[in-house]
Amino acid sequence: MPFIPHTEEDVKSMLAAIGVESIENLFDEIPAELRAEGLTKVPDGVSEMEISRIMSEHAEKDSRVLCFAGAGAYEHHIPAAVWEITTRGEFYSAYTPYQAEASQGTLQLLYEYQTMMASLTGMDISNASLYDGASALAEAVLMAIRANRKSKSKRILMPRTVNPKYRKVAHNICKGQGITFEELNFDMQGGHIRPDSLPKDPGDFAALVIPQPNYFGVLEDIDALTNWAHEHKALVIAVVNPTSLAMLKAPGNWGEIGADITCGEGQPLGAPLSSGGPYFGFMACRDTYVRQMPGRIIGRTVDLDGKEGFTLTLQAREQHIRRSKATSNICTNQGLLVTAATIYMTLVGPDGLTKVAQASHNNTENLVKKLEATGKTTRLFNRPVFHESVMKFDLATDQLMQEMSERKVLAGVDISDDYPELGNVMLVCATETKTDTDLQMYADLVAEITG
């Protein structure tokens, strides 16, 4: 029997110990009319050998694609040691570290992770992760409303340059609590929020969300936007790409006093693309807001003998204690992905992460140049970017995507649905994983298809 160790003899002796005749008797408290008549759509079980064949065939269908898509999920090289260690059973098959003494491995790792993320974001503290970048933004919005004591408003100012999927998720998760999102439009030349376009009298609002880089890959005027929000007594929620932080100014240093809450998608730090998950959301903040932070937080303390140890702390914020008054209903974090991210950051180090950021930036710039050289496409926005760029094509983007896909190239992400005013545009990304040959091949294909 798969994964069940009982022999017939075991079953007999256990039933005798219980004092029943059959396993079936153990279910006799369930009303007879509720008993299932069996399963119809679940197939018969297969062996490990058979499922290996089946899954290999499935995986093969989708494989060997050259990927120029980003838009919130980025292909980076992941050092071999990252998942070798992450999938050790002691990390992989452990539960939430409620029994701290039996979970020091996970707890110390999470404390190290919090330290790395706090430093990377320039914030005082970090939690131990949330589900993904989009839901982390939703949680950051809820947190900002709790934390902003100068405003009772439930209004959030949300630039349209924030990832449209993140905006949808934030809306879907927050709307039940009467929170409203007011969109700020972007400049058609720069692809950014112009500080001089901000309302003179915005009224009371709880927070301004600032993406860096924004969804178009473009760099926002973070200092001016941050200062403007603070002048109006609102908090600043930074949504950032963690790889970029090795190169770009940390949110803690934005404007005069820095962002208040920083969140984002942790996937670039060691998680494979994997169809969109599991990833992890990160969240960091100033220490004054620590009690408003959702999710698990690890603290360093001492044991009975005065020896250093680590434990879950500030649990009074959480659902298993506070129930209906908790800061969030969140229960799990994404522990395994954080394990991978911590090992990833350790292996690449500050120097390596900077190089990954620079190489991704340079590759994207090179790709844009090669694409523009075909004469069939132009860069849409004139502002500096991190590692993505919006390209405008002569051809309908869906047709281009289709023809490229037949050559096993994922050309980018078609964003015209979310931004119809931009026309035939595609968001393209070339991380450090792409070679010059890859970039040239992409440009040649575009020339050939639009020929």
List binders of other proteins among 416-445 (CB under 8 A): 417, 432
Structure tokens belonging to residue 352: 């390596």
Q: What DSSP assignment string belongs to 424-440? A: SEEEEE--TT--HHHHH
Q: Are 126 and 284 in contact (CB under 8 A)?
A: yes
Does residue 303 interact with other proteins by CB under 8 A?
yes
Among 181, 198, 292, 326, binds other proteins (CB under 8 A): 326
Among 382, 405, 423, 448, binds other proteins (CB under 8 A): 405
User: CB of 201: closest distance to other proteins in angstroms?
Assistant: 27
Determine how many CB atoms are found less than 10 A away from the CB of residue 235.
Answer: 27
Backbone angles phi, psi at 183, to 5 degrees: -85, 145
Residues 35-64 that bind other proteins (CB under 8 A): 35-36, 38-48, 51-52, 54-64
User: What is the C-alpha separation between 329 and 323, in angstroms, rounded?
Assistant: 8
User: CB of 395: closest distance to other proteins in angstroms?
Assistant: 16
User: CB of 419: closest distance to other proteins in angstroms?
Assistant: 15
Does residue 364 interact with other proteins by CB under 8 A?
no
Residues 6+ positions from 168 with CB-CB distance below 8 Å? 134
User: What is the C-alpha separation between 317 and 291, in angstroms, rounded?
Assistant: 7
User: CB of 287: closest distance to other proteins in angstroms?
Assistant: 8
Which CA distances in Å does 208 have to 23, 142, 160, 281, 380? 59, 13, 12, 19, 26
Quick one: which segment of 149-157, 196-204, 255-263, 341-349 binds other proteins (CB under 8 A)? 341-349
The DSSP letter of residue 383 is S
Residues 107-166 that bind other proteins (CB under 8 A): 108-109, 111-112, 114-116, 118-120, 124-126, 128-129, 131-135, 163, 165-166
Determine how many CB atoms are found less than 10 A away from the CB of residue 336.
Answer: 20
User: CB of 260: closest distance to other proteins in angstroms?
Assistant: 17
Measured from the CB atom, is 123 or 184 closer to other proteins?
Answer: 123
Which CA distances in Å does 303 have to 172, 299, 309, 311, 315? 43, 13, 6, 10, 18
Quick one: which segment of 232-240, 293-301, 368-376, 443-451 binds other proteins (CB under 8 A)? 293-301
Structure tokens belonging to residue 334: 């994404």
Quick one: which segment of 148-156, 198-206, 239-247, 255-263 binds other proteins (CB under 8 A)? 239-247
Strand 409-410 and strand 66-67: the pairing is parallel
Does residue 297 interact with other proteins by CB under 8 A?
yes
Measured from the CB atom, is 108 or 150 closer to other proteins?
Answer: 108
Q: From edge to edge, which strands make up the β-sheet containing 207-212?
A: 125-126, 281-285, 261-265, 235-240, 207-212, 155-159, 180-184
Q: Are 235 and 147 in contact (CB under 8 A)?
A: yes
Among 214, 241, 339, 364, binds other proteins (CB under 8 A): 339
Residues 184-213 that bind other proteins (CB under 8 A): none
Among 8, 196, 201, 305, binds other proteins (CB under 8 A): 305
Measured from the CB atom, is 157 or 173 closer to other proteins?
Answer: 173
Does residue 73 interact with other proteins by CB under 8 A?
yes
Residues 242-281 that bind other proteins (CB under 8 A): 245-250, 253, 265, 272-280
Measured from the CB atom, is 413 or 449 closer to other proteins?
Answer: 413
